[in-house]
Structure 1
Amino acid sequence: MDVAYHWSPSTRRLGIHTDGLKIGAAPAVNSVGGDWHNSWISLSPTPAQAWSLSGGALEVGGFSTESPIWDLYEVDITGLPIARAATADYPELHISQDIPADRVVRVAMRLYG
């Protein structure tokens, strides 16, 4: 099994457990502003890299968070279409389809900040 990781505010836990990770969901970190929605699911190869793309980006960008508690998800990406971010040193994986709940397992929690 190939895995990748995704951090999300705990306010999204029920939706993720019910529906999985969905393209078009409001991003937890939106540096673009407005009604921007990615056309992919953002994952990373390690929990630490995934945190740098989400909670870490919030801290650097001065954004607010919808919850002080964040959940870490391990995602089975076996057989899914994967694209890498445009720059080689940016650890983001783009999955171009919804990821069903049976491929997503919450493995940890952490406090933001």
Structure 2
Amino acid sequence: MALTDPADRILAAVRAIPRGEVAGYGEVARRAGLPGRARWVARLLAVSDDPGLPWHRVLRSDGRIAFPAGSDAWEEQARRLRADGVEVVGGRVRIARAERSLDAEVWGPG
């Protein structure tokens, strides 16, 4: 069954990020079918009280943790990412760019 509520689609996209991988807020919005809604993703994650939601796998598009450096939230996100096997250096994670296929170029995201 397809999710119709945009918030549910965003949360599903966050849950789909595998352990050891990260995605930017904008990429999560795109995967949810809501391109250009990165700030909505950030706001939704900020108010979520789901303890099983892997919010820590969502970063700024340049791979930086969005919380102020050294804050408790910043430290928690870095700790969770490292526990996932993600290398965090100076509050930044290298985000791998997915190669686009010809089908994706012609038909759009699948």
**TM-score normalised by the chain length of structure 1:** 0.26
Larger CA Rg, structure 1 vs 2: 2
